[in-house]
Structures are given as structure tokens and as C-alpha cells.
Amino acid sequence: METSIGISSPTSPRVSARELAAMDFRFRSGRRSLDLAATLGGRHRRPIERLGGPGDLARWFGEAGLLAGPPPVDDDRLILARELREAIYRCARSVIGGAAPAPGDVAVLNAHAAVPPLVPVLDAATRAITWTAPDLVAAALSEVARDAVDLLGGPQAERIRECAGDGCSLLFVDVSGAGRRRWCAMGGCGNLEKVRRHRRRSGPERIAGERPGESIERPEGEAFR
């Protein structure tokens, strides 16, 4: 049975553990720019916004390995980040479909990429490297945009894929030798498709252990990509 986490307000809806897990950031694309695109999941069915507020963007910078700590982010920077995210997604989808990216989306990428990126600073005592810039958020977005420019204009562009999983919209770079990878993660969407194929082959016979009326569900956190 799915557990639920109660919200303090008596009028607030209960949020399930599955829904909370769906808000986790995805870092399985193979490129930082596509990881940013994945902050809007379930695009083809039930979109889930993982950058719901400025604090989410600050957390993404840290989890993506761009910054050691969360930078100050305001609503205006959040809007810019979402704009960049959608430009990356549309450009990648155009490339997948064999079409040229829209000039307006390319202009967004180039504008962000033109901003000076993060600068490495070496600590004399510990030899630790930190990344800094006068404007941390703008510099971090520049890093993402530069990655997108490098990806879309380089040899890996023809290896950009969209997961074939039902309802999954995650983009990734296929680095397999044969170039035939279909799933964002074999342990998630890939396994679910195996179950579905088995179910179709079984016909009227139900999968062992499956109760009447029971449907195949994604594991925790796999409900929305």
C-alpha cells in the first residue's frame, strides 16, 4: 500500500511518497543541458514541474554539480532558467526529428552561452577547487547553455534520443556501441516495457502473482519522468 505524508494544514491535500519521489531531479541524460530539460517531467501525459520555485533551481545547481552551495535565486532568474530549459528541449526534439532548431530557440541558447562562465579557483592550502563568478546564477546557466551548444553542434547530436517508455519524455544521449538504446534507464522504463510485453504474450492469463483488477505501476519515483 502506498504511504502518504500529511501536510500540516488540515485543508491541504495529502501528498503520497510516490508524488514526492516524482519531484526528485533526474540526472541520467548524459549531458548537463538535457538534465536541465528533465526538470519538467511527464511532458506527454501529465507534466510535473520540478522547478516550482527559486529554491528548487538553487538546489538543482548543487545536485547537478555546478555549484558547491545554493546561490541566491529570485523569480526573474527562475523564469530565465525555465526559458533556457524549454529552448534546449525544443532544439533537441527538432534534431531528433531531423529538423533545424527554431532561430528563436537558438538565440536563447547563444545569449546564455555568451555570458562569462564559472571560473575555477584553487585553494592554496587544501588544493580544493571552487567555482565562482560575479553572478553565480547567470554563470551557471551559461555553463548549461554552452553544454547545449556543444551537444547540438557536435557529433553527439545524432545520438540524442527520447525515452520510448510509456509517458516518459526524458531526453538522453545514446553512447551505446550499436546506438540502439531506447530507455532512459533499463531498471525503470526498460523493465516496465518487459513486463508489458510479457503481459501481452500471456493473453488472457495473468502474470503470476497479479490479482484481478491490478495494474502495472511504476516503482517509486518512476511515475513521472
| Residue 108 resides in a domain | yes
| Residue 188 resides in a domain | yes
pLDDT, residue 72, reads: 95
| Residue 212 resides in a domain | no
Residue 214 in grid coordinates: 491490478
Is residue 171 over pLDDT 80? yes
| Residue 7 resides in a domain | no
| Residue 90 resides in a domain | yes
Domain count, the chain: 1
Listing DSSP states for 48-106 in one string gives: EES--SHHHHHHHHHHTTS-SSPPP--HHHHHHHHHHHHHHHHHHHHHHTT-PPPHHHH
Average pLDDT over residues 7-20: 47
Lowest mean pLDDT among 18-27, 49-58, 213-222: 213-222
pLDDT, residue 45, reads: 86
- For residue 217, what pLDDT band results from cuts at 50, 70 and 90? very low
| Residue 210 resides in a domain | no
**pTM score:** 0.77
**136-158 tens-digit pLDDT:** 999 999 999 999 999 999 999 99
| Residue 223 resides in a domain | no
Range of the domain at 142: 26-202
| Residue 13 resides in a domain | no
Across the chain, what does the average pLDDT equal? 82
For residue 221, which of 185, 196, 174, 193 has the smallest C-alpha distance? 185
pLDDT, residue 4, reads: 29
Which CATH number does the domain housing residue 182 bear?
1.10.3300.10
